Structure 1
Amino acid sequence: MIRLLVQTAVFLATAALGLVVTAAALPGFRFSWSGFTIVVVVFAVAQNLAAAMARPLARKHAPALVAGVGLVSSFVALLVASAFTGLTVDGVVTWVLATLIIWLVTSVAAWMLPKLTRRNDGRA
């Protein structure tokens, strides 16, 4: 149960970080701070579901494209979040760059956060 809570917290934190970094980097990417929590939750859930659906298909039909699942799930999550929340993405270039930035930030953060939160108990 604790592991699930930690995984959920890491997933939400990486989504939040990705959205904040993207909003800071791209002027055409905006959301209201009052609805930030909703944007993060919708984005995180959509990204998780999209990845869960795309990963088995990629493994079965195109194993070389498994790495692209993160990009696809980030794009789908942006579409869903922009449709149901106050997230605004202006222009094709902003959509492409937002997908790349969020994918990069969430990937690096998802890799780093568990390492930072792990207790140092002397094991290698």
Structure 2
Amino acid sequence: MMRLLATAVVALIANAIALIVGAWVLPDMSLTAIAFLIAVVIFTVVAVVIDPLIRQISMTKAPVLLGSSALVSTLVALIVTALVSDGLKISGITTWILATVIVWAVSMIVRLLLPMIVFKKTLAARK
């Protein structure tokens, strides 16, 4: 139970940082402060739900696309978040592509590094 909670917290923080970086780097991507939390929660829920589905579809229908399933999941999560939430606006095909890559990359890096930083004492105690 604690592991699931820790994973959820790390995912929320990683996605929040990734969306902030994307909005900061890309001029045609905006994230309003008021709706930021709602956008992060929607993005994280959609990403968590859609990722296993896309992986399963790519494994059965197109194994070649398995490596890009995380990028597709990120794109779908961005689209759903932009449609459902007023907090995220992305305009232009180039911005959509760059936003997908930036949000995916930053989220992946934060998900790898954050547990080492936050749970450093716990990891050290296990050794």
TM-score, normalised via structure 2 length: 0.90
The match for 2:59 is: 59
Q: CA deviation at 1:62?
A: 3.1
Q: Give the alignment's Cα RMSD to 1 decimal.
A: 1.3
Alignment of 1:33-44 (within 5 A): 33-44=33-44
SS of equivalent to 1:88: strand
Unaligned runs of 5+ residues in structure 2 are none
* Corresponding position: 1:75 with 2:75: yes
Q: CA deviation at 1:94?
A: 0.5
What whole-Å deviation, never above 9, does each CA across 1:45-97 have from its counterpart, x for those lacking one? 11111102111122233333222111000000010000011211011110000
The match for 2:31 is: 31
Distance 2:61 2:110 in 1: 29
* TM-aligned CA distance change 1:2 to 1:25, over 3 Å: same
Distance 2:115 2:56 in 1: 24
Aligned residues: 123
SS of equivalent to 1:34: coil
SS of equivalent to 2:125: coil
SS of equivalent to 2:35: helix
SS of equivalent to 1:82: helix
Unaligned runs of 5+ residues in structure 1 are none
Alignment of 1:86-101 (within 5 A): 86=86, 87-101=88-102
State the percentage of identical aligned residues: 33
* Corresponding position: 1:7 with 2:20: no
Distance 1:46 1:29 in 2: 19
